[in-house]
């Protein structure tokens, strides 16, 4: 990786590839997330499914279909399940562990897939969507947690960002399978795309049975010998190696200090210095959803169809391909260029793209008396799709992966599981709100806003807010250990001043823990920092 400017620091002992491989495999759970959220867009547009699940509503084309309110419920109930799943993730993460928690989550997801596959009417289908969502919510909070606690710090951004890459692959696979079954006139049209998800869950379960638990969780549970073995598997060096002992000493010193000040509750995530970090993570995840990406992947097929595009399924496959490919440069750049510049320029690119899509769609289309879309300028519609693709590039290479990267590394061990559960729940809460409200905002008819392409002005406004949010609230954390990130927040009061900051000492050294000598710093891990959210540095230290 040195050729591309991202390489293992010389002072890091052991091998990096085991932790990298493990981190990328765990990211596979994102396929469940992406596929489950992506497949519904195509299913809602399938003729056979519309007829089978219709309760008598007829759409503007004169075809039996589910009503806009039913469509809203079908899409959004998955997000409701994910919201509660994300909030419940600390119960698994902090009790049975990150690894076993992921296995249990996958089984919950499988229950939801079984119910959806068996359904021939809306009630059972909705129940299946909820349980699948609950499983996805658990997984979406646990995967970044597992990755952040096992990944080498110098490539942590790419590893956690790979979770978003897996999500995009899931979206692409969903579009391809939907495209392949769309013309079937039997239950296979929707059952095949849904049942494919069994494979993704089984792969994750089998893999997690052989992977190690995170060293930080084992230290938290007082299992120091197991923590040493886990870390030795990740670094491929002897458990008694000086670098292993140094890293465990630092983690243990942080944990013991946390025990001295008591356990953390959900309220502690909003107290004192933690408030800023908690709101930063929740704001970042909320804005990621408000950029409009899920409008494209939840309702994109139907939207393109309504806008006069003849082969809307093909467009959905193309946008999904762009989503996958565009994530790759972001995975390289996150540990090369940093978090702040990528998020800032990504927000600017998304903002411009959404504005142009809104203008082109609004000025070149109209409606007849029945609410059908009339396209006045086909070339302008094609240009609009091109700018949607440009928007997807900016999102997939910046805000898509980096929202998970940043939220996975800015919280201390004491509150990490709870803080991440709330940031992930915020993501899913906004996801639910957008999924539920979009049909009412976009569709034609009494009681509906009939915004059509004007909805992109809403996404434009949110992207504009993203620019300011990054400038004022996002700290640069590239290349720091999780504990060093904590010291960054205690020493630097403004996100604008974070680029250029460097750590001065380890937490173990400042606390006077036995064995925390200069050899620790040079033995493999330079400077892990306090993780309680409070300052333990010299008040006269220079920033």
Query: For the CA atoms of the chain, what is the radius of gyration?
Result: 24
pLDDT over threshold 50, residue 535: no
What is the rounded average pLDDT of the residues 94-105? 94
What is the rounded average pLDDT of the residues 452-458? 88
pLDDT of residue 206: 95
SS3 185: coil
* Average per-residue pLDDT for the chain: 85
Positive or negative CA dihedral for 143, 148, 149, 155?
Answer: positive
SS3 367: strand
How many Cβ atoms sit within 10 Å of the Cβ of residue 363?
12
What is the rounded average pLDDT of the residues 302-316? 67
pLDDT over threshold 50, residue 520: no
pLDDT of residue 517: 44
pLDDT in tens, 216-225: 899 988 898 9
Q: Which helix (H) or strand (E) holds 432?
A: helix 416-442
What is the rounded average pLDDT of the residues 420-428? 93
Q: Are 177 and 39 in contact (CB under 8 A)?
A: yes
pTM (2 d.p.): 0.77
Q: Which band of pLDDT confidence, cut at 50, 70 and 90, is reported for residue 301?
A: low
What's phi and psi for 76, nearest 5 deg? -80, -20
pLDDT of residue 515: 52
H and E: helices and strands count for the chain: 23, 2
Q: Which band of pLDDT confidence, cut at 50, 70 and 90, is reported for residue 309?
A: low
Instruction: Specify the higher pLDDT residue, 405 or 318.
Output: 405
pLDDT over threshold 70, residue 414: yes
What is the rounded average pLDDT of the residues 41-46? 86
pLDDT of residue 489: 92
Query: Which tokens hold the place of 500?
Result: 């250029």
pLDDT in tens, 233-279: 888 888 888 888 888 888 888 778 767 767 788 999 999 889 999 99
**Cβ-based neighbours of 53, under 8 Å, separated by 6 or more:** 66, 120, 121, 122, 125
pLDDT over threshold 60, residue 530: no
Instruction: Specify the higher pLDDT residue, 140 or 443.
Output: 140
Q: Which band of pLDDT confidence, cut at 50, 70 and 90, is reported for residue 504?
A: confident
Residues in the chain: 543
Instruction: Specify the higher pLDDT residue, 105 or 364.
Output: 105
What is the rounded average pLDDT of the residues 307-322? 75
Burial call 327-341: b when 16+ CB within 10 Å, e when fewer: bbebbbbbbeebbbb
Helices 29-44, 188-195: inter-axial angle, 10-degree rounding: 170
pLDDT of residue 373: 74
Residues 314, 399, 432, 308, Cα dihedral to 10°: -30
DSSP at 214: P
Smallest CA-to-CA distance from 163 within 477, 405, 429 is with 405
**Cβ-based neighbours of 382, under 8 Å, separated by 6 or more:** none
């Amino acid at each position: 990786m040195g050729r591309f400017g991202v390489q293992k620091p010389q002072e890091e002992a052991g091998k990096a590839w085991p932790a990298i491989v493990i981190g990328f495999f765990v990211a596979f759970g994102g396929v469940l997330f992406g596929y489950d959220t992506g497949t519904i867009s195509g299913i809602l547009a399938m003729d056979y499914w519309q007829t089978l699940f219709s309760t008598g509503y007829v759409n503007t084309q004169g075809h039996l279909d589910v009503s806009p309110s039913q469509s809203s419920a079908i899409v959004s109930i998955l997000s409701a399940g994910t919201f509660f799943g994300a909030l419940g993730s600390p119960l698994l993460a902090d009790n049975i562990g990150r690894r076993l928690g992921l296995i249990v989550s996958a089984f919950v997801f499988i229950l939801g897939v079984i119910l959806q596959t068996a359904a021939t009417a809306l009630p059972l289908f909705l129940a299946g969507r909820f349980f699948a969502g609950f499983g996805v919510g658990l997984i979406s909070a646990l995967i970044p947690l597992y990755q952040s606690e096992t990944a080498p710090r110098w490539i942590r951004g790419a590893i956690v960002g790979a979770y978003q890459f897996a999500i995009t692959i899931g979206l692409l696979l969903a579009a391809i399978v939907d495209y392949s079954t769309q013309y079937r006139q039997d239950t296979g049209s929707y059952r095949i795309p849904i049942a494919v998800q069994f494979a993704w869950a089984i792969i994750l379960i089998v893999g997690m049975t052989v992977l190690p638990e995170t060293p930080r969780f084992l230290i938290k549970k007082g299992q120091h010998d197991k923590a040493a073995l886990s870390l030795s598997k990740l670094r491929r060096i002897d458990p008694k190696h000086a670098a292993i002992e140094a890293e465990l000493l630092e983690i243990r010193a942080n944990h013991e200090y946390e025990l001295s000040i008591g356990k953390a509750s959900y309220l502690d995530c909003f107290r004192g210095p933690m408030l800023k970090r908690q709101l930063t993570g929740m704001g970042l995840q909320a804005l990621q959803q408000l950029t409009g990406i899920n409008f494209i992947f939840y309702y994109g097929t139907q939207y393109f169809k309504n806008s006069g595009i003849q082969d809307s399924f093909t467009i959905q496959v193309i946008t999904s391909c762009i989503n996958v490919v565009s994530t790759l440069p972001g995975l390289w750049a996150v540990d090369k260029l940093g978090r702040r510049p990528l998020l800032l320029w990504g927000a600017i690119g998304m903002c411009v793209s959404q504005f142009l899509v809104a203008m082109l769609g609004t000025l070149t289309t109209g409606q007849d008396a029945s609410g059908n879309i009339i396209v006045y300028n086909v070339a302008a519609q094609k240009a609009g799709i091109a700018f949607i693709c440009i928007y997807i590039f900016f999102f997939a290479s910046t805000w898509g992966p980096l929202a998970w990267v940043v939220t996975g590394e800015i919280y201390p061990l004491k509150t990490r599981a709870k803080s991440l559960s709330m940031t992930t729940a915020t993501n899913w809460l906004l996801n639910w709100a957008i999924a539920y409200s979009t049909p009412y905002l976009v569709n034609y008819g009494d009681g509906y806003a009939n915004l059509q392409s004007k909805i992109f002005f809403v996404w434009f406004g949110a992207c504009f807010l993203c620019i300011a949010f990054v400038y004022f609230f996002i700290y640069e954390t590239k290349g720091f250990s999780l504990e060093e990130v904590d010291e960054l927040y205690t020493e630097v009061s403004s996100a604008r001043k974070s680029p250029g900051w460097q750590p001065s000492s380890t937490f173990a050294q400042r606390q006077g823990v036995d064995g925390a000598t200069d050899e620790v710093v040079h033995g493999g891990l330079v400077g892990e920092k306090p993780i309680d959210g409070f300052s333990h540095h010299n008040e006269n230290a220079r920033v």
